[in-house]
Chain A
Amino acid sequence: MTDDTRSDISLRVNDATYQLAVDNRRTLLDALRDDLSLTGTKKGCDHGQCGACTVLLDGDRVVSCLTLAVVADGADVTTIEGLAGGGELRPIQEAFIRLDGFQCGFCTPGQICSAVGMLAEHAAGWPSAVTRDDSPERTPELSEEEVRERMSGNLCRCGAYPSIVRAILETSVREAVSK
């Protein structure tokens, strides 16, 4: 039923494939939430300024509010619902609970998806604005400063930042392996 305002797309989300006819204006965020009932991904600003809607698109972290659903046609999407396989929490999810890495919990799905994507970027050797040694051969040490810099696209108004950083650092090795 493709007309000039709608498009047929295929999305692979959390290892399931969906065929959707979406309004061309529909963002990936709204498609996940309203068409696929995957409401774990949150809308905090709809402007790409808060990071609450962060998901993994073909393994890279993106803000799904600035990604049109039609652009994600054929892509592989991982949302917070898809991170824990078979009911088993990932190490970082367990650490968020144990270290109290959230209060209201609204930014949490974005923080966790962003952290998983960030750890992969780091493992691949990507430098950040605070990386001192920018030699491409060397992966920068994942310091508190590096984590803070790399996670700065994810706002948390409750101020859970110190616990979030601790949870990420504590699980970074295991998360890098479990990816």
Chain B
Amino acid sequence: MNANGITAAVGEPRPRVEGRLKVTGSAAYVADVPMPDLAHGWMVTATVSRGRIRDIDATDALAMPGVLGVLDHRNARRLNPDAAHHFGPDRGLPMLQDDAVPYAGRPIALVVARTPEQARAAASALRVTYDAEPHDTEFSMNHPAARPASTLFGPEADTGDLEAELAVSTVVVDEVYRTPEENHSAMEPHVATAWWEDGHLYALDSNQGPFSISQVMAMLFFIDRDRVHIRAEHVGGGFGAKTICGAQIILAAMAAEHFRRPVRVALTRRQVFLAIGSRPPTEQRVRIGAGADGRLRAVHHHAAFALSPLAEYIEWCTEQARTLYAAPAIRTELSAVPLDRLPPCTMRGPGATPGSFAFESAVDEVAERLRIDPLRLRLLNQPAASPVSGRPWSTRRLITCLEEGARRFGWAQRDPRPRLRREGNLLVGTGVAAAAFVAGVFPASATIAAETDGTFSVRVGASDIGTGARTALIAVAADALGVSTERIRLHIGDSDLGPNPGAGGSRGTTSCAFAVTEAAKALREKLDDPARPVTVTVDTTPLINWRPAEERNTYSAVFAEVTVDPATGEVRVRRLLGMFAVGRVINPLLARSQLIGGMIGGLSMALHEESVRDPITGRLVTADFAGYHISAHADVPNVEADFVADYEPQDPSGFNGLGEIGNAGVAAAIANAVWHATGTRHRTLPISLGRVVETAAPRDRQEAISAV
């Protein structure tokens, strides 16, 4: 409670401020906002994986009722070929520019009509012919096109004498792990409504960062960013898929200009699968050497991922190897394999999630071969400072996460030997994994006005895609201003609100909270001024990252219990517990929900999710929720998430982001539990029925059992 009797809002479990809107159907998402004179665009996508468009015959389509026209590479306006986003230039952004087809699912035309039904019918009457060329969509880390990945995130690690340390290790694990292409599958498909007025572009767009999308759109359309106005008040999930400037807004803006009226482009679920980037498949070789005492001596993590030659991308799988454990020699390598596939896009826990599956599975294999408890092995190797850079941690409560999680889970009673516990037909096992996710903030700006009625208008270009940013930032603003939350009027989700990184990289809320806190500080110095409104704007660019000598991460320890039916191959997760060190928690109710949601995403990845491409055509064959299963109610047990006491000294309020750390670690914990249940090590995700079912006693299972 402060001097005015106001109780602090940060730290309180408060329900979402927009909760009533969301449970009554009144929250307006992009496709819910009416627009006079609206036309509807239906996207048409390429059906070959590589080649050229020979012809698009629109004769029949143009004669159909309600059709306004067809946009394709022959009549579309020119877009900037050098438009770029956070990974650099992206040749995939300029659409409908030429006859080249770089991947199956590439948007090649937009049919515009008065109603969606008319547009859809006309799109199916379009006759597209191709000159197909041989394509290459088959990913492997040994592919001849493999090359070192971009080092935009910094150089890969190489400390100590790796081969020498491996040579003197008592055990060496050297295994290859694989994760498939995965799809974000936010429940709201990508949709945009765009219109032009006096040389200004306006759009309602389902995205994770209106300001960054406005920057890309301005580049693409050769106009000043000040002339691009993008709003996204309510967004139906993102998980990374809406960080990119999507086909929906690019095509809607092109069509709105061409047909001189507002145009909505709503992607179908199938089109989201085909044309919006996904998590790329990975193949990862992990070598770990350890002494008989359980100390790690050598760590080598080489990860490869698929991308498209159209744009740079990084799936930074090697983060865990350089962060989690001490070892005298650590080497990481990251390879990119350009293929004729849909360009990838960051997905929840990018890099860390597939990387952790490989690395924390391998660590478990070290424990297995040394016959050391896997929890003890992890605790034995905790580094006092970064094992690669030598820099201190700003805060690192991973040991507390592991120990407290173990206590709550009942780990001490666990028999480490595999395939010993049976309940009827079921085998039962438990597993653990640790994870880290790099934390920090990006520059952002916030404006706060003290209004004449005693309220405070807070303007910040944040996105609330379900993270709870709206509710969290109201609490942060109230505390920073020393007033109750009822006096805060928060405005978010608009590119006109100033520079903002959007919701991504676990940095949306922390970056915005930083800006709001600093703006409130500056405003309070001016509050003696009797003239109202008083307005202050702060951009945090010169203020952030003031302790660069320290490494900043969030941490988790995840514990899983599974049952396996060897006759059907069905793995069910019975218990899932995550302990998290994520700095000071703004709102424990919402933060816990976000972490539990992330853990369920990890469960889904471990057991269900797999995008399958037909090697003959290169096309995605799992482009709907029947082909691509994400965890449903019946797949999900009671999931527990809790926080250890933590405070981030690099943040003025002690906060860290927690959007990604919930996912990372879960797949490895489940895979390790499946090994404990069955004695079989699953190094390829998902751990699906066909991979688990025991039709005969496989040799590797016998080996695993006899090794103990």
Interface residue ranges, A against B (CB under 8 Å): 5, 23, 25-26, 30, 33-34, 37-47, 49-50, 52, 79-81, 83-84, 89, 93, 96-98, 100, 102-109, 112, 144, 147-149, 151-165
Complex alpha-carbon distance, A93 and B268, angstroms: 29
**B465 interface contact, C-beta 8 A:** yes
Complex alpha-carbon distance, A25 and B120, angstroms: 11
Most buried by A among B116, B121, B189: B189
CB distance from A19 to the nearest CB of B (A): 19
Asked whether A158 and B189 contact (CB < 8 A) given A47-B626, A100-B16, the answer is no
Complex alpha-carbon distance, A36 and B257, angstroms: 29
CB distance from B396 to the nearest CB of A (A): 27
**Cβ contact within 8 Å between B188 and A104:** yes
Complex alpha-carbon distance, A157 and B184, angstroms: 8
Give the chain A neighbours of B633 by CB distance below 8 A: 147-149, 151-152, 154, 156, 161, 164-165
CB distance from B591 to the nearest CB of A (A): 10
- Which of A44, A83, A89, A96 is B188 in contact with, Cβ under 8 Å? A44
Enumerate B421-457 residues with CB–CB distance to A below 8 Å. Answer: none
**B185 interface contact, C-beta 8 A:** yes
**Cβ contact within 8 Å between B23 and A30:** no
- Which of B18, B24, B32 is A89 in contact with, Cβ under 8 Å? B24
**Cβ contact within 8 Å between B23 and A104:** no
**Cβ contact within 8 Å between B599 and A159:** yes
Most buried by B among A42, A98, A103: A103
Asked whether A93 and B23 contact (CB < 8 A) given A103-B468, A105-B466, the answer is yes
**Cβ contact within 8 Å between B25 and A159:** no
**Cβ contact within 8 Å between B24 and A44:** no
For B181-216 the 0/1 string (1 means CB < 8 A from A) is 000111111000000000000000000000000000
Most buried by A among B65, B593, B633: B633
Chain B minimum-CB-distance residue to A100:
B593
**Cβ contact within 8 Å between A84 and B19:** no
Known: A89-B24, A155-B632. 17 other contacts (CB 8 A): A25-B121, A39-B28, A39-B31, A81-B24, A81-B26, A89-B23, A103-B594, A105-B18, A105-B236, A106-B188, A107-B187, A107-B236, A109-B23, A159-B600, A159-B636, A161-B633, A162-B596
**B624 interface contact, C-beta 8 A:** yes
**Cβ contact within 8 Å between A104 and B236:** yes
CB distance from B556 to the nearest CB of A (A): 15
Complex alpha-carbon distance, A162 and B598, angstroms: 13
**B638 interface contact, C-beta 8 A:** yes
Give the chain B neighbours of A46 by CB distance below 8 A: 268-269
Asked whether A23 and B115 contact (CB < 8 A) given A100-B593, A158-B466, A161-B636, the answer is yes
Complex alpha-carbon distance, A152 and B144, angstroms: 44
**B27 interface contact, C-beta 8 A:** yes
**Cβ contact within 8 Å between A152 and B626:** no
Give the chain B neighbours of A34 by CB distance below 8 A: 116
Give the chain B neighbours of A25 by CB distance below 8 A: 117, 121
**Cβ contact within 8 Å between B22 and A102:** yes
Asked whether A43 and B16 contact (CB < 8 A) given A49-B625, A80-B25, the answer is no
Complex alpha-carbon distance, A109 and B596, angstroms: 21
- Which of B34, B116, B625 is A47 in contact with, Cβ under 8 Å? B625
Complex alpha-carbon distance, A163 and B600, angstroms: 12
CB distance from A47 to the nearest CB of B (A): 6
**Cβ contact within 8 Å between A30 and B116:** yes
- Which of B65, B268, B269, B600 is A161 in contact with, Cβ under 8 Å? B600
CB distance from A36 to the nearest CB of B (A): 12
For B619-635 the 0/1 string (1 means CB < 8 A from A) is 00000111000111110
Q: How many A-B residue pairs have C-beta atoms within 8 angstroms? Tell me.
A: 179
Give the chain B neighbours of A157 by CB distance below 8 A: 184-187, 237, 239, 601, 630
CB distance from A79 to the nearest CB of B (A): 7
Complex alpha-carbon distance, A44 and B32, angstroms: 13
**Cβ contact within 8 Å between B598 and A156:** no
Interface residue ranges, B against A (CB under 8 Å): 15-16, 18-29, 31-32, 34, 65, 115-117, 121, 184-189, 234-239, 266, 268-269, 465-468, 589-590, 592-594, 596-601, 624-626, 630-634, 636, 638-639
Asked whether A89 and B597 contact (CB < 8 A) given A42-B187, A104-B466, the answer is no
Complex alpha-carbon distance, A98 and B22, angstroms: 13
Complex alpha-carbon distance, A95 and B109, angstroms: 46
**Cβ contact within 8 Å between A50 and B25:** no
CB distance from A3 to the nearest CB of B (A): 11
CB distance from B367 to the nearest CB of A (A): 29
- Which of B15, B185, B626 is A97 in contact with, Cβ under 8 Å? B15
**Cβ contact within 8 Å between B631 and A159:** yes
CB distance from B384 to the nearest CB of A (A): 35
**Cβ contact within 8 Å between A108 and B22:** yes
Can you identify 8 A-B contacts, CB atoms within 8 angstroms?
A: A25-B121, A30-B116, A30-B117, A38-B25, A50-B269, A100-B589, A105-B23, A159-B636
**Cβ contact within 8 Å between B626 and A42:** no
- Which of B26, B237, B598 is A106 in contact with, Cβ under 8 Å? B237
**Cβ contact within 8 Å between A104 and B235:** yes
Complex alpha-carbon distance, A44 and B31, angstroms: 11
Asked whether A45 and B269 contact (CB < 8 A) given A148-B633, A157-B186, A160-B593, the answer is yes
Chain A minimum-CB-distance residue to B38:
A34
Complex alpha-carbon distance, A114 and B467, angstroms: 24
Complex alpha-carbon distance, A158 and B600, angstroms: 8
CB distance from B116 to the nearest CB of A (A): 7
Complex alpha-carbon distance, A30 and B15, angstroms: 31
Chain B minimum-CB-distance residue to A30:
B116
Asked whether A42 and B236 contact (CB < 8 A) given A49-B625, A155-B630, the answer is yes
Give the chain A neighbours of B26 by CB distance below 8 A: 40, 81
Complex alpha-carbon distance, A84 and B23, angstroms: 9
Chain B minimum-CB-distance residue to A144:
B638
Complex alpha-carbon distance, A112 and B24, angstroms: 9
Give the chain B neighbours of A93 by CB distance below 8 A: 23-24
CB distance from A163 to the nearest CB of B (A): 7
CB distance from A113 to the nearest CB of B (A): 9
Give the chain A neighbours of B18 by CB distance below 8 A: 105
CB distance from A22 to the nearest CB of B (A): 10
**Cβ contact within 8 Å between B596 and A97:** no
Give the chain B neighbours of A42 by CB distance below 8 A: 29, 187-188, 236
Complex alpha-carbon distance, A80 and B599, angstroms: 29
CB distance from B243 to the nearest CB of A (A): 15
Most buried by B among A23, A41, A159: A159
Give the chain B neighbours of A81 by CB distance below 8 A: 24-26
Complex alpha-carbon distance, A34 and B545, angstroms: 48
- Which of A5, A103, A149 is B466 in contact with, Cβ under 8 Å? A103
Chain A minimum-CB-distance residue to B25:
A40
**Cβ contact within 8 Å between B237 and A162:** no
**Cβ contact within 8 Å between A104 and B598:** no
**Cβ contact within 8 Å between A50 and B187:** yes
**Cβ contact within 8 Å between A39 and B32:** yes
Chain A minimum-CB-distance residue to B590:
A100
